[in-house]
Amino acid sequence: MQNLFALGSVSGFNPLVGPVQIQVNPDDAPAASQLLKELAENSQN
């Protein structure tokens, strides 16, 4: 069921199922948050 509605895999948002959600183990949350922050900063450049 992971890629049933493939439109979201291109844009990150699918109007049928909503935005992409990333789930991580609570113990990994700080590292995941830092990675997402760096990703957002680098995508601005």
Is residue 16 a contact partner of residue 7, using CB atoms and an 8 Å limit? yes
pLDDT at 19: 73
Q: What is the pLDDT of residues 1-45, one digit of tens each?
A: 455 555 545 556 666 767 777 899 999 999 999 998 998 888 876
Sorted by where each begins, the domain ranges of the chain are 7-43
Task: Output the DSSP codes for the chain.
Answer: -TTSSTHHHHHSEETTTEE------GGGHHHHHHHHHHHHHHHT-
